[in-house]
Amino acid sequence: MYEDTDIETSIQLHLNAITIYETENRGRFGLEEFRNLSSLLVKNKRYDKAVEVLMRLAAQCIKLNNRLELCKTYLCVVICLLAKGDDVEASKQLDTFSQDSYFERSPEFASANNIILAYKEFDQEKLDQAIRDPAINDLNSNFRKLAYTLSVPGFSRNVLGVKSNDYRESVHNKLDSTSADASDAHRVESREAGLFSNTVEDGEDDDGLL
């Protein structure tokens, strides 16, 4: 695609387009352009710029009273801030967003709030559960993939030899493999112990016959 061959030019063209939609008060026709640009920025790890574009998208959603799109946009902002390592700002923004009573009652708020709570508690398991929320699955694929890469401070994705992005599955597989190896080792030890016991008994019988 063109975006893949000249990312800087592509981003600038998208920025020019959304600026036109904003200045000509035609935001309702440009929502898809905002979404495409924010997705492109996330794909290329331009998280600061992605947040900026998402906030501009949020402003258009408020102007158009598009609450459903606004809720998704707020959730995406939180995910981007966490991805860039700024969980403090993500928490602050969520507090600000929650002043919107519609958003506060939405599945997107519940999902974002659970993610923030996991960060505050340094609970990776809770985060694993939060990022599998249906509200996350409903997002654009690049934001969904980004959410799946999140980890609480101090958590290493290389723990237990994990290399896959889907580290939960990898960890479970690793643990299952380790457990299976341990079981095999236990069976070998038990068998060897049994053979040793039989050998000793046979030796005692032989001594008795001599």
- Please tell me the CATH code under which domain 2-155 is placed: 1.25.40.10
DSSP H/E element including 166: none
* Burial letters 8-38, b for 16+ CB under 10 A, else e: eebbeebbeebeebbeeeebeebbebbbbbb
What does the alpha-carbon distance between residue 20 and residue 13 come to, in Å, rounded to a whole number?
A: 11
pLDDT, tens digit (0-9, with 9 covering 90-100), for 119-155: 999 999 999 999 999 999 999 999 999 999 999 998 8
Number of H helices, E strands in the chain: 12, 0
Count of CB atoms situated within 10 Å of the CB of 161: 10
Question: Which residues contact residue 188 at a Cβ distance below 8 angstroms, ignoring those fewer than 6 apart?
Answer: none
Write down the pLDDT at residue 23: 85
Backbone angles phi, psi at 165, to 5 degrees: -65, -35
What pLDDT is recorded for position 197? Answer: 54
CA–CA dist 136, 19 (Å, integer): 28
Q: What is the pLDDT of residue 133?
A: 97
Confidence (pLDDT) at 159: 43
Cα–Cα distances (Å) from 188 to 36, 181, 184, in that order, read: 58, 11, 6
How big is the chain by its Cα radius of gyration, in Å?
A: 27
Name which of 89, 9, 18, 74 is nearest 44 in CA terms.
9
Rounded to whole angstroms, the Cα distance separating 174 from 186 reads: 18
The answer for residues whose C-beta is within 8 angstroms of residue 120's C-beta and 6 or more apart is 87, 91
| Cα–Cα dist 147/115, whole Å | 10
Q: Helices 27-43 & 141-148, crossing angle to 10 degrees? A: 40
Upper half-sphere CA count for residue 84 (Cβ side, 13 Å): 19
Residues of the chain with pLDDT under 50: 1-2, 158-168, 170-175, 178-179, 188, 196, 200, 208-210
